[in-house]
Amino acid sequence: MSNILHAGLNCIEPILDMPTNRSIPNKRWHLAFTAIYSSRALYSLLNQKKKKSRKLPVPSNPSFVVLNVKPEAFSSIDHTTLTAIVKDKNFNKLLEFGGIEGVADALETGIKNGIDGSVNDVALRQEAFGSNTYQRPPAKRLFHFVVEAFKDLTILILIFCAALSLGFGIKENGAKEGWYNGGSIFVAVFLVISVSAVSNFRQNRQFEKLFKVSNNIKVDVVRNGRRQQISIFEVVVGDVVCLKIGDQVPADGLFLDGHSLQVDESSMTGESDHVEINSHHNPFLFSGTKVADGYAQMLVTSVGMNTTWGEMMSTISRDTNEQTPLQARLNKLTSSIGKAGLAVAFLVLLVLLVRYFTGNTEDENGNQEFNGSNTKADDIVNSVVRIIAAAVTIVVVAIPEGLPLAVTLTLAYSMKRMMADQAMVRKLSACETMGSATTICTDKTGTLTLNQMKVTKFWLGQDPIEDSSLISTDLLNLIQQGVALNTTGSVYRATSGSNYEFSGSPTEKAILSWAVLELDMEMEILIKDFTILHVEAFNSEKKRSGVSIRSEADHNIVHVHWKGAAEMILAMCSSYYDASGRMKDMDDGERMTFEQIIQGMAASSLRCIAFAHKQIPEEEHEIRETSQKLEEDSLTLIGLVGIKDPCRPGVRKAVEDCQYAGVNVKMITGDNVFTATAIATECGILRPDQGINNEAVVEGEAFRNYTPEERMEKVDKIRVMARSSPFDKLLMVQCLKQKGHVVAVTGDGTNDAPALKEADIGLSMGIQGTEVAKECSDIIILDDNFASVATVLKWGRCVYNNIQKFIQFQLTVNVAALVINFVAAISAGEVPLTAVQLLWVNLIMDTLGALALATEQPTKELMERPPVGRTEPLITNIMWRNLLVQALYQIAVLLTFQFKGESIFGVNEKVKDTLIFNTFVLCQVFNEFNARKLEKKNVFKGIHKNKLFLGIIGITIILQVVMVEFLKKFADTERLNWGQWGACLGIAAISWPLGWVVKCISVSKKPFLSYLRWQEHHFLLYVCTKI
């Protein structure tokens, strides 16, 4: 055996005799092979020994095994060190690592083509480096909301009273019978707490879901040579990410390639100055920062929790308890009503205690309850607890706790439905504020138009070109250079026979597809043949982009190419190429001809883009390179293209709907005045008779140059502002707000951020909008469609209207319950509605009522009213009229029952109290229908569409029947016969015709409470004059 083992070891000795400078993975591989080989040899020897001893024929096995021993993935790179290098911005350490190219090689990433991108490759990278997600603090559980509900003081007092009542009841009547009073209150309180906690828990979950959706940003990456969009959560280490102005950097990484890249790192450092990023001194990019200027490609080195942003965000919990302006107003209203309820409850408590201790109350058998020293202490305490419970329950009913719940339900429901209608709410207050909007300032491109651009016109010199074969070769080369090298877009084609894929902005894609498909441009060849020296990236202020390039074939000449808004490029030119490629000087007459060509295309709703070129010697370029500015004068105009972007279907109707609803729509665009006028007329923003001559259309520069007084005078008349800068948009928003308008603004660019922040409601675009614009906005329009803006307006009004419906419904119940209990306590010394009954009314009124009325959908009627003013009272005169009449009717009927019910119906006191309770609840059920329409007489219109409302009404009636007929001891009720049920239903149903009649009474538009203030003011004046 020792000989065989010796031979085996001799076989593997060359393997073990390895150099000491081998890498760790190779050492591991050799050690693994040695261990396996030795084990196999020993195992083989043992087998041979067994075979000889048993002398059995055994099939021969090979003396070796084939092993696929693979080194650990990406083991040649220490990821912890790499992460630290980027976080610490340690450029020297990066160079020791092999520079950016060395990192890319170690991460198995092609600098041009990116990672392989296959499912296995992505999975391997996620396993090795982690995913681009971060841990968040756990969401609030149901138990948290149950605890919050228990913090309510009135609930705590009720529980204390219930405990006392339960204890004394069991002591007096035994456990079998004595638990009913206290136990009933416990059950009722438990129901109220449960419904409130579950409702708040569901809304919290809803907000968490919306938060996750809002974080799901789309990122451009290059994988396997193809540029594509993926979710930010799918970004992996090694990805090549494409960045442009306004983008959020999705992970930590290194600058690969790009121009004029400046990053806003204020979210990380607090410094507002932009940081320049380049490959020579500062190639470090951090997750969560924003691209302020330029464009670039970056190599991802760390994702998720390995980034500084991930570490920071994992410690931040999103507060979903944002209080909106409407909620603040409702809290004030709730406080006022609560104080009134406390005053009434205190009076009831005082009256009942006085009547009890003066011997003016009787028990169920007609005996005097308090008889001085003859009354047991337990009986006294029990009676006092019962009186306190009744008073506390009045407070429970009086305090409209359902108002905040109704707002939460309405907002949550509206947010969910608005999401389905292509609008994602980022700030809850925007839902309400949108209902008050008086002016909408909208972009043109992508919002009013489809953003599906196509080049439809092409002019060389002063001639339109239909056939590209007529263009001279030299001029065609210049055009192709200007398109291919002065762009942030890209062209991808998998194989020679497959279709082209174009990426970039819609304008870039339109020009690239035209150049590739019509002019046979080979973008890859041009990129190889030229070196880009300097780039001036496009932004909405300059409205142009430029590039200087040098041919690999001729290093003595530098070509400068400009592309941008036609009239701006034209102003930079002193000559032009004609169709045959000859250069001609441009005099005033020819310049005017070009301006007419541009105006003609603009009047046809075309966006006009011009291309210009200048050739400069290398020496002159080197002199200018120090100033980092491209040549901007004495250019030669190459040509003009007209890009068609059709209006969205239905946009005209959406504009008309807004105008009909009393909301002014203004278009603010960077396009020239003729294109803007044509599109605005097509969309219905301008009438055919309106234009530049009647102040409805103005250019941004002119508006900027007005005096403050002129701007304030003219801003209401302006319908279109063309050639506007972001500053002009901000200026218009400020002027409109100073004039008292509630302004909604749409924006998609980084430079729109100031206007979006300044506006009452900022609306960013979900498709074309940059991350900076989205973060500054209140609502994201997911489909970039103006029709969705009109839908948001409708939902905003719906939220406000639903809250008003619920306020009217709840105040009717509050007023009726308080007056009935107060009058009955003062006069008869008892309250007809017990603690359990009032808690039941509180449940159906607060929670079920809020659910029923807060989930009404928008109707056309909402868009027939003017916007709700900033200072308009929450409770209008119409609401006061409706609720006071219904409350007075309920008070009159139920007090009649209280004092004459026994003789009218021929029943005992217990049945009378049950009739009062039953009628009171049914009155609320019927009045819930009246609350659906504040002004319209037909309260049943569209009711079949709200299944939830009908379901809640049905559930309420069924539960009321159970309370009266089957829960006698729990609810302290008596069974009613068919006649008594009919009487209750008939009296409650009168609220329908009563509501119809009341709505025939016209009311003043002047707020009801202002009359009281006016009387108070005049009284004070009268007193002062007398003094």
- CA-CA distance, 806 to 507, in Å (whole number)? 49
Amino acid letter, 681? T
**Token duo for residue 654:** 């959406």
Q: How many CA atoms lie within 13 A of 118 on its CB side?
A: 4
**Token duo for residue 123:** 């999975």
The residues near 96 (Cβ < 8 Å, ≥ 6 apart) are none
Q: Are 398 and 839 in contact (CB under 8 A)?
A: no
Q: Are 376 and 172 in contact (CB under 8 A)?
A: no
- CA-CA distance, 47 to 489, in Å (whole number)? 68
Q: Which of 751, 1005, 995 is nearest to 873 (CA)?
A: 1005
Q: At how many degrees (to 10) do helices 153-178 and 377-398 cross?
A: 140
Q: Cα angle at 657 between 655 and 660, to 5 degrees?
A: 110
DSSP 91-102: HHHHHHTTHHHH
Element (H, E) at 584: strand 583-585
For residue 431, the 8-state DSSP code is H
Q: Are 689 and 677 in contact (CB under 8 A)?
A: no
Q: Are 111 and 256 in contact (CB under 8 A)?
A: yes
The residues near 17 (Cβ < 8 Å, ≥ 6 apart) are none
Cα-Cα-Cα-Cα torsion 31, 34, 40, 46, nearest 10 degrees, comes to -110
DSSP 344-412: HHHHHHHHHHHHHHTT--B-TTS-BS--GGGS-HHHHHHHHHHHHHHHHHHHHHHS-THHHHHHHHHHH
For residue 626, the 8-state DSSP code is T
DSSP 189-233: HHHHHHHHHHHHHHHHHHHHHHHHHHH--EEEEEETTEEEEEEGG
Q: Round to the nearest angstrom and report the end-to-end CA distance of the chain.
A: 129
Residue 585: phi and psi, rounded to 5, are -70, 150
Q: At how many degrees (to 10) do helices 153-178 and 180-215 cross?
A: 140
Rg (CA), the chain: 39
Element (H, E) at 532: strand 530-536
- CA-CA distance, 693 to 811, in Å (whole number)? 54
* Buried-state track 606-616, b at ≥16 Cβ within 10 A, e below 16: bbbbbbbbbeb
Q: Is 773 helix (H, G, I), strand (E, B) or coil?
A: helix
- CA-CA distance, 810 to 801, in Å (whole number)? 14
> Is position 783 annotated as part of the catalytic site?
no
3-state secondary structure 270-325: CCCCEEECCCCCCCEECCCCEEEEEEEEEEEEECHHHCHHHHHHCCCCCCCCCCCH
Q: Which of 41, 34, 36, 52 is nearest to 6 (CA)?
A: 41
Q: Are 905 and 980 in contact (CB under 8 A)?
A: yes
- Of 220, 239, 443, 784, catalytic: 443
For residue 661, the 8-state DSSP code is T
Q: Which residues are catalytic?
A: 443
